[in-house]
A and B are shown apart, each in its own frame.
Chain A
């Protein structure tokens, strides 16, 4: 059990790293498309690692599967929202950086 617990902690810490990098990218990248790119890394991979880590530490299988469900739902919502924002920006004539 202790091994699983430590592995979970490791995964959560790795996830936090992705969230940190994504936030830095959101603040520092030059235009909306590159910012979306940074954000999706945090949302998809960062949250996936955090959820996987918490699922390893979960007391029951049902609880662990709920963490996985949360990740899947955020994946779907995040992908849709990202494509909506990017398509709207493109339709309004926002030029990608450097093009």
Chain B
């Protein structure tokens, strides 16, 4: 009974915050509503017993995306409040039935989905997959090709961002209080500790490379925002770090072919070690790629030390 009431309040809260984010006349308020939506959504995923998605949702939606939106907001010309969104009867007439149809189709699909899914097959394969956590086994072994493509898309996004413009060097951001850079430096090791824990936990419990990378990125963005770290320098170290995820994946996927396996089929005896190495490389790469996306543009070239 109590659980049902909690879920009801959560669902209503999600709808209310989503409406706020879309309709608020104040863009700042809209962004904050979006971040609150991410936090509530993470709680909803926990209630749906999907802690992996909850971790990713909290770190990426509420954390990184929120920071991206806020920094975009800071670069917009500060006009007056945007005009309130008016919904005419034509829109209601068109989108009302369409929306109802869409929800109906979703409901029918959800009912008609094959009940056990592929969970049984995954659990059968766990013994050979090199990870006790089914999510990690699927991401890093059974459907590793999908994960490779995801990491590649993220790298592509960074490359496209760099080709558009060079980043505005936020040289010594004006910080209203010395407490902020001090706090950022103080808690950055805790961010690294949390990322390491998520990596370690990923083999047997919710966690893994994506949440760990997002946590590293959140710590890095905090350092940059607080003016506690020098701006990103464009040089071989940064470029190798950005590419390390894709490179490690390709190295492993092609390397196992030398051992007589097919593309991406790890030998079961070495699956655990390979997955662990991949997770470390991918989480670092994801962390740096998200920070690069936040900086938004090609950083200035590294100054040569000997000149």
**Majority DSSP secondary structure for residues of A touching B:** helix
Q: How many residue pairs, one in A and one in B, have C-beta atoms under 8 Å apart?
A: 23
Asked if A77 and B183 make an inter-chain contact with CB atoms under 8 angstroms apart, the answer reads yes
- Which chain A residue shows the least CB distance to B178? A83
- How many whole Å from A32's CB to the nearest CB in chain B? 14
Q: What bracket does the count of chain A residues touching chain B fall in? A: 10 to 19
Contact of A76 among B176, B177, B183 (CB under 8 A): B183
How many residues of chain B are within 8 Å of chain A by beta carbon?
9
Name B's interface SS. helix
Mask of B169-209 contacts with A, CB within 8 angstroms, 1/0: 00000001101101100110010000000000000000000
Find the residue from A73, A76, A79, A80 having the highest chain B CB count within 10 A.
Answer: A80
Q: At the interface, yes or no: A91 with Cβ under 8 Å from chain B?
A: yes
Q: Which residue of A lies closest to B181 (CB)?
A: A80
In the complex, A77→B186 CA distance in Å? 10
Pick the contact of B176 from A73, A77, A79, A88 — CB < 8 Å?
A88
List residues of A (42-82) whose CB comes within 8 Å of B's CBs: 73, 76-77, 79-80
Q: From residue A33, how far is it (CB to closest CB) to chain B in Å?
A: 15
**In the A-B complex, the 7 residue pairs with the closest CB atoms:** A80-B183, A80-B179, A87-B176, A87-B177, A84-B177, A88-B176, A83-B177
A: residues with CB less than 8 A from B are 73, 76-77, 79-80, 83-84, 87-88, 91
Instruction: List 23 A–B pairs whose Cβ atoms lie within 8 Å, in order of A's numbering.
Output: A73-B187, A73-B190, A76-B183, A76-B186, A76-B187, A77-B183, A77-B187, A79-B179, A80-B177, A80-B179, A80-B180, A80-B182, A80-B183, A83-B177, A83-B179, A84-B176, A84-B177, A84-B179, A84-B180, A87-B176, A87-B177, A88-B176, A91-B176
